[in-house]
Amino acid sequence: MKNKHSIVSFKKLALGFFLVQSVCFSLFSQSLDSIQNLEGVTISAASRPRISPNIGQLQSLNASSLERLNAIQLSDAVKFFAGAMVKDYGGIGGLKTVSVRSLGASHTGVFVDKIPTNNAMNGQIDLSRFTLDNIGEIRLSNDNFSSTLQTASFYSKSAQLSLITARPTFGENQHTDAEVSLKVGSFGLFNPQFNIHQKIKKQLFSLNADYQRAKGNYPFKLVHKGQTIAEIRENSAVESYRLDLKWQNFSDSRHQYFVNANYYDNHRQLPGSVTVYNPNSSKQKLWDKEKTLQGQYNYRFLDNTEILFNTKISETFNRYIDLGHQPVDNQFTQMEYFGSGGIQTREFWGFQTSLSSDIIYHKMHSNLPRFVYPTRLTSMTNWTWNAKWRSFLFYRSLLHKATFEHAESDNVAKNRQKISPTLGLNFQPKVFPNFSARFFYKETYRIPTFNELYYRNVGNTNLSPELARQFNLGVSVGKSVEEKKYMAISIDGYRNKVKDKIVAIPMNNLFTWSMVNVGEVDILGIDATLKGGFDVSKKLDFYSEINYSFQDAKDVTPSSKNYNHQIPYTPKHSGSAIFGANMFFTLQYSLMFSGERYSLQENSIDTRLEPFFDHGFSISKQISLRKINLKTAFEILNFTNKNYEIVAWYPMPGRHYRLTVRARLAP
């Protein structure tokens, strides 16, 4: 049965989409603007992190930090953000999602150059599909604050993971910038990449190609009733291709635009959960193919006004095969049409406002019998304003979100609409500019996904949307001494209250989930970050970064049999650390740790996962040979060969090695 849409309502939505307007103020000094600006960044980033305190709650990894991490996938870098928990199903080809502050993966939005990445089918973005080869900076924020114009989708998420594409720098009479790299490692890893940027007058054409292959057959230890059995992880091979073409203007004009075409093809085996006496039983495979065409136009005029338009068309194909006792071949195709427009202006007395509107249309079809062919039209309109008075910055946003559902079924989910506010306050005294204090309150409203609503034997069209309320109080302080010593510390305490939380738990494979409505969840947490470093001489300096998170995330549903139990896969204590030294080579030590977690709502000995520490070492060296910049890096990962699981019955690799060689040609 189709839900009837009001023609008048649709006209109002369309009118709101095209008649957006706003007012904006340049709030900060040039240094603080550079922290928040979400435009493209150059590849040649500073070697040290910025120490200026954050305006709002923001964590970032710039180009130099990403280069030192030698990360292959986005998930490898996100693990080093405080409050971010990456759910990893093992191996380079395993599914990887991120939950920020215990709110779940569906509450985290992933944005590439301000354009959102969506998944209407299950709401979870697989971080393994993003390469970092052409990324200049990664930012994680929670507070909805941005000094630049954003899409309305940006304000609809509880956490925003923003990827900013790197832009090359050209010398005089230079028109080409090319880079090739190769990563090889344990378990059959083979990962070549190629980047080329060609400047023609004021236009820039870029090509990024990436290929990745791995057998994934790593050893692990299966422990059962005090007995340890050595096994080999089977059926975990992966092969993927990625091609990205981009055309953009390369000038300092008021007009900025780009057109980007992307193709992604990933074929992986799903190793399945390890079971006693049958650890290699999985015969499952998954194909992911995605084709995307997107564009952006940004225009600044009158010295105080800018407009932003984004558009995107994407097709995502997923095929899941299980060759077990009851063969399965499920195929799904998602189509997404996205359009966004916004405007902001700067006016007097430290006041700014902006308005942006998004229209998103999703449809899905499948080869499954009795499939309901769901479609969803989503409208989001966000109004925000900022006001600066002396040392105080006030900001507020109101987001109106409406969804219109349709399916070929008598049981269709309800149309939904909600207004979600955000309030924030930042204090940065002029007499102590390296100190800031902040507070924000925000609400987000997550609509159930197509799988949660319609997937056979699992979906429930009566599921209630999740309503998350977030409170945050934090301080930041930084200090630099003649560019030779620096230190920055940031501490945030927060409380999140979630009503009608939906927890997705895998059943006996990675493609079928059991949807459980927990009811009410109360989350109390602390995120802390400490960065520091100092120069010993011109040829020797040290740097470090330590992150710590405390998350007390309890099921507080009054009628729940698991009342006051920690929600699944949320450790109370977790964190990371990086210590390094730059001399004639770079030596770095990294650490990730997690306290005990539970795999189900019930906290018991049977569902408890052991704490773990993951240690890594790397050594790298850069040299210049005429017009070629060459870098080599060697890594030892999980140095202590720790046998651990992030997700129950999905063992992670033990000690393994990786070698990276990168050459950059700039004729």
Provide the CATH number for the domain around residue 59. Answer: 2.40.170.20
Residue 482 falls in which region: left (phi positive, over 0), alpha (psi -120 to 50) or beta: left
For the record, the structure tokens of 332 come out as 């799904």
pLDDT band at 274 (very low <50, low <70, confident <90, very high): confident
Using the predicted structure, report yes or no on whether residue 22 has a pLDDT greater than 80.
no
Specify if 28 maps to a domain: yes
Per-residue pLDDT, 185: 94
Average pLDDT over residues 286-299: 96
Check: CB of residue 123 under 8 Å from CB of residue 106.
yes
pLDDT band at 251 (very low <50, low <70, confident <90, very high): confident
Average pLDDT over residues 493-513: 73
Using the predicted structure, report yes or no on whether residue 286 has a pLDDT greater than 50.
yes
User: Quick check: pTM over 0.75?
Assistant: yes
* Number of helices (H), then strands (E), in the chain: 5, 36
Percent of the chain's residues with pLDDT above 90: 57
Per-residue pLDDT, 299: 94
Neighbouring C-beta atoms of residue 584, cutoff 10 Å:
9
Specify if 1 maps to a domain: no
Residue 159: helix, strand or coil by DSSP? strand
Per-residue pLDDT, 9: 40
Specify if 611 maps to a domain: yes
> Whose CA is closest to 502, among 90, 20, 103, 31?
103
Q: Which of 2-6, 9-13, 77-81, 101-105 has the lowest mean pLDDT?
A: 9-13
Amino acid sitting at position 109: G
| Cα atoms in the Cβ-side hemisphere of radius 13 Å centred on 174 | 13
> Whose CA is closest to 592, among 613, 573, 572, 569?
613
Specify if 299 maps to a domain: yes
Burial per residue of 247-261, b for 16 or more beta-carbon CB atoms within 10 angstroms, e otherwise: ebebeeeeebebebe
- Dist. CA 555–CA 516, nearest whole Å: 12
Strand blocks (E) in 347-374: 351-366
Using the predicted structure, report yes or no on whether residue 28 has a pLDDT greater than 50.
no
Specify if 2 maps to a domain: no
Per-residue pLDDT, 171: 79
Q: What is the pLDDT of residues 50-87, one digit of tens each?
A: 445 555 678 999 888 888 887 878 888 999 999 999 98
| Cα atoms in the Cβ-side hemisphere of radius 13 Å centred on 314 | 27
Phi then psi for 13, rounded to 5 degrees? -65, -45
Specify if 409 maps to a domain: yes
Number of domains in the chain: 1
Per-residue pLDDT, 18: 33
How are beta strands 485-506 and 466-481 bridged, if at all?
antiparallel
According to DSSP H, which parts of 70-167 are helical?
74-78
Of the two residues 12 and 245, the one the predictor is more confident about is 245
Of the two residues 382 and 34, the one the predictor is more confident about is 382
464 Cα distance to chain centroid: 25
pLDDT band at 512 (very low <50, low <70, confident <90, very high): low
Specify if 518 maps to a domain: yes
In order of 40, 311, 456, 612, the CA distances from 46 in angstroms are 15, 32, 52, 33
Average pLDDT over residues 247-268: 92
Per-residue pLDDT, 147: 82
pLDDT band at 254 (very low <50, low <70, confident <90, very high): confident
Q: Which structural domain range is residue 648 located in?
A: 7-665
> Read out DSSP for 484-514?
TEEEEEEEEEEEEEEEEEEEEEE-SSSS-EE
Specify if 378 maps to a domain: yes
Average pLDDT over residues 133-137: 88
Check: CB of residue 137 under 8 Å from CB of residue 41.
yes
Residue 75: helix, strand or coil by DSSP? helix
pLDDT band at 32 (very low <50, low <70, confident <90, very high): very low
Per-residue pLDDT, 661: 95
Per-residue pLDDT, 10: 36
- Dist. CA 638–CA 292, nearest whole Å: 36
Residue 474 falls in which region: left (phi positive, over 0), alpha (psi -120 to 50) or beta: beta
Using the predicted structure, report yes or no on whether residue 493 has a pLDDT greater than 90.
yes
How are beta strands 135-141 and 159-167 bridged, if at all?
antiparallel
- Dist. CA 297–CA 58, nearest whole Å: 26
pLDDT band at 36 (very low <50, low <70, confident <90, very high): very low
Per-residue pLDDT, 543: 93
Per-residue pLDDT, 288: 94
Q: What is the pLDDT of residues 516-552, one digit of tens each?
A: 667 799 999 999 999 999 999 988 999 999 999 999 9
What residues contact residue 356 under an 8 Å CB cut-off, 6+ apart? 20, 149, 150, 151, 152, 308, 340, 341, 342, 343, 381, 382
Per-residue pLDDT, 504: 57
Compute the mean pLDDT over every residue in the chain, rounded to the nearest whole number.
85
Average pLDDT over residues 389-406: 95
Residue 139: helix, strand or coil by DSSP? strand
In order of 222, 235, 290, 603, 609, the CA distances from 644 in angstroms are 10, 19, 32, 19, 9
Percent of the chain's residues with pLDDT above 70: 87
Q: What is the pLDDT of residues 190-217, one digit of tens each?
A: 999 999 999 998 899 999 999 999 998 8
Average pLDDT over residues 79-107: 86
Using the predicted structure, report yes or no on whether residue 591 has a pLDDT greater than 60.
yes
Q: What is the pLDDT of residues 553-590, one digit of tens each?
A: 999 988 888 899 999 999 999 999 999 999 989 999 99
Using the predicted structure, report yes or no on whether residue 37 has a pLDDT greater than 50.
no
> Whose CA is closest to 448, among 439, 438, 458?
458
Per-residue pLDDT, 305: 92
What residues contact residue 109 under an 8 Å CB cut-off, 6+ apart? 116, 117, 153, 154, 156, 157, 159, 160, 161
